[in-house]
Structure 1
Amino acid sequence: MEPLSAANTQFSLKLFKKISEGNTSRNVFYSPISISSALAMVSLGAKGNTAAQMFEVLSFTNPPKPDAATPSSHQQALKPQIACGVKGQHGPSMAQQTQKSELPPELKKCPAQPAPGQKTEDQIHSSFNKLMSELKKPGAPYVLSLANRLYGEQSYQFVEKFLNDAKTYYEAGLEEVDFKKKSEAARVDINKWVEKNTQGKIKDLLPQDSIDAMTRLVLVNAIYFKGNWEEKFPKDATIDEQFKLNKIQTKPVKMMNQESKFPLAFIPEMNSQVLELLYVGKNLSMLIILPNEIQDETTGLQKLEKALTYEKLMEWTRPEVMRQQEVEVSLPRFKMEETYDMKSLLISMGMEDVFDGQKVNLSGMSPNNDLVVTKVIQVVYLWSFIYLYFILFYYFK
């Protein structure tokens, strides 16, 4: 795995643990690659300590060294995957030949890219550009797109280099709008763009009054994925079952079932298992990590979450460990929607200055250095692991 992939995976795990703090009984579903790519675009205009904090939190400064954690055979076998984080509650152990997991930890790795690490900023942005090109590869047996758009106040002067670099590296064109006098019309335009880039599935996402006359720039990042399982779940095998929330509580759900051969690994030290479910084409997959026992009245995931690191994830998913085995798999059919205030999470991780009007340095974006990020909102939608939507908004004032 190249350093960009390693950096994104490490950031994903750090963010996963931060979101999970104090949320032991709720589902967690987010897109770290959506956040890291959009923040990397913001960093095009960041200078000084503002840029340094962003690079540190995103693990661009010192990404884990893949060679130290991952055997060469594993690096060669890694499939292009889009980073995503999921956690949830689970039922019976996979060790009993059944996996029933409402939303277990799921972490996917981005396509291997040239190393940013200690190298130049241009190489970081070039790596993201190559990642976007990989995601949009024509002829793929799935739909996977990542789109960026800038909406800027028409009377505001932005640094030309920032606009050019955003277009070159992130394909983010600037749409000039009248936030000062027609903020409602701008909101409608943004919602139409989101609807178009989620195949019409997400409509009227930004509510009224979410954009006002003080807004100077809105950065929108949208990821859309639609794929089918390589091993399909038969429709007639979807039945009503009781799903275990913890040792005491259950709830009725529609459960998809199938029995087939899948890559499966056991993690003795964590008393857990790892299952890989491939999407059609075998270029993308979902990793599910499931504890064998519910250890308390919550989810039984706490011990696993605390131990989860980049190095551990690479160790647990090595090809020589993930062996094809006959497994009976059960997954619930469901829809899930989550909205996260990423601003508070990023501040708690050390990215402070970009949100502080007294300390921020976005002079590479604004010649007067009078912009500050006021909101970072991520909205995510999930339909039975087949449809995935991630929408990320950055508000600058």
Structure 2
Amino acid sequence: MLVLGVLPLLLLQLRVPCRAADVPEDVTAEFSVRLYHQLRSSVGEENIIFSPLSVSVALGMVELGARGPTLNEIRQAVGYSNLKAGDEFSLLRNLTQALSAEETQNVVKLANALFLQTGVHYNPDFLQLMKKYFRAEIETVDFSESMAVAEHINTWVENHTESKIRNLLSADDFSSVTRLTLVNAVYFRGSWKNQFRPENTRTFSFSKDDGTEVQTLMMYQQGDFFYGEFSDGSTEAGGVYQVLEMPYEDEDMSMMIVLPRQEVPLATLEPIIKAQLLEDWANNVKKQKVEVYLPRFKVEQKIDLRENLQELGIKNIFTKDADLSAMAGEMADGKDLFIGKAVQKAYLEVSEEGAEGAAGSGMIALTRTLVLYPQVMADHPFFFIIRNRRTGSILFMGRVMNPEVID
């Protein structure tokens, strides 16, 4: 299993004239689900993969430099309205530290960087808080050398994602008026607690929601997993659907798969997904023996978040009305700063044991009859989240509409 995401949120430009037991629960779940639904409406029938935590962390970095209505808009949209002002920074720090605790057996890397225009003065308190809450690396660059800067930042991203995310930014993303770029990178590599045996992987048909089929490599195992069957209380989502939670090695992290019935398109089930429902799934799945058929797949996606965030109510930071004056030094006018670009690139790879593995020559029976245990047959589109089971923090969220086979 390999998942990672990178979010250079945000590219800020100068406007031209004219694991601790007391780790708090993630309060951004509702924002994460709202963003998923917004992406769903904008990408059509494509796969989706993004990191809600990465978006929240990057917005938190921007929030440190925001004031007035700009600050309030971010707090309200992300879900911090019920928190005491400023408490969200400690919350984000604790959530990220819980994910990257050294005692965990999975590899979770969260890296933040702040690239500043050479010669421009910034508020030292802002820079200090960036280091305190987000452990941000701070560098000065000359954005007028756009090609060199793009290469430098892309190299930083590659180094923090084991070279899985490449060419995130281009020279066209920078200009002589660019003043600051925030980059957030998230990398996760985990091994299943119950690994699939490569010799049981077989070519199988995956039925897309448009009625066509594609061939994919289907993994198989029978094991003890957290499983439940749920109903939406109506026929809107086809009645009963399945939820499977598969823990990683140390059981702090897991992947949750939500699968409608074979004849029910995922688009019919998706509208019922809410933050409270995620919690209900997590609280009500029970450990039992399950037969699991899951495709090997990889999903990679680059998302322009600017429009999507604006649709969720975060508009001010992208306009001439932005107040990011808490970033500026005494000699600079912070009200001349606004957000020019917000993109995220994420990558998810699922295989038998967490790394590349070749299929063997064993035989299994792919059948829907004479099943002794609940059977999860993910041979049609499904929704998933990768989360910290202690805090509820959502590292990745998405859907598989068309699995791309890993060679």
Whichever residue aligns with residue 7 of structure 1, its letter is: V
2:371 maps to none
Stretch moving more, 39-48 or 192-201:
192-201
What is the CA-CA distance between 1:36 and the residue it aligns to? 0.6
What TM-score, normalized by structure 1, do the two folds share? 0.77
1:39 maps to 59
Cα distance in 2 for partners of 1:288, 1:2 equals 28
Q: Tell me: CA distance 1:234–1:249, structure 2 relative to 1, closer, same or farther (3 Å).
A: same
Kindly provide the CA deviation profile for residues 250-307 of structure 1, in whole angstroms up to 9, marking residues without a partner as x: 1011111111121101103341111100100111001111112433xxxx22342222
Percent pairwise identity: 32
- Aligned CA RMSD, in angstroms, stands at 2.1
Q: Secondary structure at the match of 2:98?
A: helix
**Contact 1:4-1:60 within 8 A present in 2 as well:** no
Q: Tell me: CA distance 1:173–1:140, structure 2 relative to 1, closer, same or farther (3 Å).
A: same
1:279 maps to 248
1:377 aligns with 2:343: yes
1:143 aligns with 2:110: no
1:28 aligns with 2:28: no
2:205 maps to 242
**Contact 2:209-2:266 within 8 A present in 1 as well:** no
What TM-score, normalized by structure 2, do the two folds share? 0.76
Stretch moving more, 7-16 or 222-231:
7-16
1:261 maps to 224
1:193 maps to 156
Q: Tell me: CA distance 1:210–1:166, structure 2 relative to 1, closer, same or farther (3 Å).
A: same
**Contact 2:147-2:170 within 8 A present in 1 as well:** no
Cα distance in 2 for partners of 1:264, 1:309 equals 19
1:363 aligns with 2:328: no
Cα distance in 1 for partners of 2:23, 2:93 equals 15
**Contact 2:111-2:186 within 8 A present in 1 as well:** yes
1:118 aligns with 2:96: no
Cα distance in 1 for partners of 2:293, 2:266 equals 18
1:306 maps to 271
Instruction: List alignment gaps of at least 5 residues for structure 2.
Output: 1-20, 234-238, 356-385, 387-394, 397-407
Q: Secondary structure at the match of 1:335?
A: strand
Q: Secondary structure at the match of 2:342?
A: strand
What is the CA-CA distance between 1:26 and the residue it aligns to? 1.6
Cα distance in 2 for partners of 1:315, 1:143 equals 27
1:168 maps to 132
Whichever residue aligns with residue 43 of structure 1, its letter is: E
Stretch moving more, 307-316 or 166-175:
307-316
What is the CA-CA distance between 1:124 and the residue it aligns to? 1.2
Whichever residue aligns with residue 132 of structure 1, its letter is: T
Q: Secondary structure at the match of 1:289?
A: strand
What is the CA-CA distance between 1:220 and the residue it aligns to? 0.5
What is the CA-CA distance between 1:57 and the residue it aligns to? 1.0
Whichever residue aligns with residue 295 of structure 2, its letter is: P
What is the CA-CA distance between 1:183 and the residue it aligns to? 2.4
What is the CA-CA distance between 1:202 and the residue it aligns to? 2.9
What is the CA-CA distance between 1:207 and the residue it aligns to? 2.8
Cα distance in 1 for partners of 2:202, 2:266 equals 26
Cα distance in 2 for partners of 1:11, 1:200 equals 29
Cα distance in 2 for partners of 1:223, 1:250 equals 33
What is the CA-CA distance between 1:312 and the residue it aligns to? 2.1
Q: How many residues align?
A: 326
Whichever residue aligns with residue 252 of structure 1, its letter is: Q
Whichever residue aligns with residue 237 of structure 1, its letter is: N
Q: Secondary structure at the match of 1:133?
A: helix
What is the CA-CA distance between 1:141 and the residue it aligns to? 0.8
1:326 aligns with 2:346: no
Q: Secondary structure at the match of 1:175?
A: strand
Counterpart pick for 1:347 among 287, 304, 310: 310
Instruction: List alignment gaps of at least 5 residues for structure 1.
Output: 62-116, 391-397
Whichever residue aligns with residue 59 of structure 1, its letter is: G
Counterpart pick for 1:232 among 189, 195, 199: 195
